[in-house]
Structure formats: structure tokens, C-alpha cells
Amino acid sequence: MYEVILYYHFHEIVLPEEFCKAHKAKCKELGLKGRIYISEEGLNGTASGSLEQIEAYKQYVWSLPGFDQTEFKQESYDEVPFAKLICKVRKEIVSLHVDGVDPKEGGRHLKPHEWRAVLESDEDHVIIDVRNNYESRVGHFKGAIKPDVKNFFDFPAWLKTADIPKDKKVLMYCTGGIRCEKFSVLMKKEGWEDVNQLHGGILNYAYKEGGEHFKGKCFVFDDRLVVPVNPNDLAPIAHCEITGKPADSYVNCANMECNKLFICSEEGAHLMEGCCSEECKKSEYRRPFDPEQAFQPFRKWYNYFDEEFKERNKEWIKKAEAEEPNGCLS
């Protein structure tokens, strides 16, 4: 078994490039794999390794000046859900694209039992899912508003059109808590006063409260893609985009020029040979379909093809190499 951790901590890093260089060297020394973002505002990461490797890394992070209060969400998995280690400097550790957002000015943190108590009370409130649409599609708290946005930085525009009374008690949540740290600040700046966020996010709530009142599963940014939240309610709430049957597994379209992330059942994957449409199924740039590996992640998809394809798509490939999924880890 291996351990998977998810964490973040806001603390000023004066020289992020130097911090990143030392941090990456330590991760390589420990043999970790994962994705870690560093900026002037702090540290945000998800990583995996053996129990010993993870414990050594946690001790290392806690030893860094200003990071001794970093909280880690941790769970076991039967393999390492990352192909390699990525440790890089970014402008923001989670990208809202709004200046002057200080997490110290954010909403009230509700511990999982406090969050559950509000949900089970008669107190009037509104719940906002502060995640991308493809995340909330496979799992969410009952009654939550699920904004139809593709990126976290789309939330400020969404908020301007959201019909939420400013005297309403607001509850918000995300995967691990980091997005709420910033979005709660924005809501308070825009006039909402009673703003509350789920401390530690869905993953912490799943561990502490068994996922009660949560439907479906939680999307995560690693090879697992979705993880269970409520062990007593594992039924999919989404549907296969091919067959229409209940499903919550995501795959990337096998047509390399499409690469759409879509919900697909095993039956649907076999019917369309891993593609999202008949058009994609006919593409000359369709990667080989292996029924036994239908839901396994694949990487560097362009290496399936010849030099002519690579030359024609070199700018696209360069961009794909540089991008990470939505800049979100938690």
C-alpha cells in the first residue's frame, strides 16, 4: 500500500524559485511522485509514496519556517497515482486571477461536525460547490448550487450573476479547502457577511463524518480521478455520455485531436473504443484501444503518432506539456 496526501498552506515565500529548487531536490531524495505548486503566497501540493516516504516529507514541510501548521489530508491506495514528480513555481498556488485576495480575510471555518450540524438544522442557508462543473457532476452535497464553470478563475464572473441574497447564510466547500480560502474572501468583499467554509473540504469531511449528506464521489486530480466519500452511498449520480446508464468514471477521448474528458461506463468504452463520438471513432489519430486498460490514464498521447503529426501540432504539444489540469489540486 501507498499513501496519498493533499495539502496547502498560505505563507509568504520571499524567493519562490530558490524555495522550489530546494523543495524539488528534497522530494527527489525521498522518492516522491506528485504535483506541487509554489508561489510567493505559499505551497499547494498532492503527492504519493510509501508510508515512510510520506512521513519524512511531512516532517520536512513542518520544519520549514512558517509551514509548521500545514495540515495534510491522507489516505491509502494500492499504487502511486502519479507518473512523475512535478514541482514548479506559479503566480498563484490556486488561480483566481483577482488581486488583493488575502485568505486571512476569508470566511469562518466550520469543522466537519459543525458543517453537518448546520445541514441537519432548520437554519436557512445556501450551499455553494466551489469546484469546476466536471467535478460536481460526479458528486456534491445535497441541495448545493453547482456553478457551470470550467475553471476556478471563472468564479468571479459567475458571482456577479449569482442570485444569492446578501443576508443569506453561505456555506461553501471544495475538495480540500484551498479554493474556499480565496472565494470566501471575494464573497465578503462583495457584501456577503455570513460566509462559512468547510474546513479541510470534502476529503476531511469524508474522514470525520463518513460523508453524510454527500451524494456520489469526489473528483481528484490524480490517476484515481474519483474517490468514494460516503461508504453507505456509492451509487453513481452521473450517467455515461455514450449509453446513458449510471456511471462516474472519467476517461479521455481516444481521438488525440479531441482528448475530451468525459464520463463513460465500461460498456460505453467498449462500444466506442474509448472515443466520445462516432466522428472521433473514425479519426486517423485515434490511439489503440485496450479493453483491459479502458480506464487507465495515458500520457504523452502524441507519441502514438508519426513525425508529420508532431510537426503539424508542435505548438499544441508544447502547450499540453506545459499545462496542468486547471491549476487546482484541492
Q: Which CATH number characterizes residue 25's domain?
A: 3.30.70.100
Q: Which among 201, 221, 241 is the end of a domain?
A: 221
Is residue 128 a contact partner of residue 168, using CB atoms and an 8 Å limit?
no
To the nearest 10 degrees (0 to 180), the angle between helices 51-63 and 16-30 is 150
Distance CA 26, CA 20 (A): 10
Same-domain check for residues 118 and 214: yes
Q: What DSSP letter does each residue of 222-277 carry, written as one string?
A: STT-EEES-TT-----SB-TTT-SB---EEE-SBTTT--EEE--HHHHHHHTT-SS
Domain limits at 139?
A: 103-221
Same-domain check for residues 108 and 217: yes
Same-domain check for residues 192 and 138: yes
> What confidence score (pLDDT) does residue 326 get?
46
pLDDT, tens only, 201-238: 999 999 999 999 999 999 999 999 999 999 988 999 99
pLDDT, tens only, 65-90: 999 999 999 999 999 999 999 999 99
| Residue of 20, 87, 174, 253 marked active site | 174
* Residue 276 annotated as catalytic: no
Which of 167-181, 187-201, 288-302 is predicted least confidently? 288-302
Is residue 5 a contact partner of residue 11, using CB atoms and an 8 Å limit?
no
User: Number of folded domains in the chain?
Assistant: 3
Same-domain check for residues 138 and 44: no
pLDDT, tens only, 88-146: 999 999 999 999 999 999 999 999 999 999 999 999 999 999 999 999 999 999 999 99
Distance CA 245, CA 76 (A): 30
Same-domain check for residues 127 and 216: yes
> What confidence score (pLDDT) does residue 313 get?
65
Same-domain check for residues 24 and 110: no
Q: Under DSSP, is residue 46 helix (H, G, I), strand (E, B) or coil?
A: strand
How many helices and strands (H and E) does the chain possess? 11, 14
Same-domain check for residues 128 and 212: yes
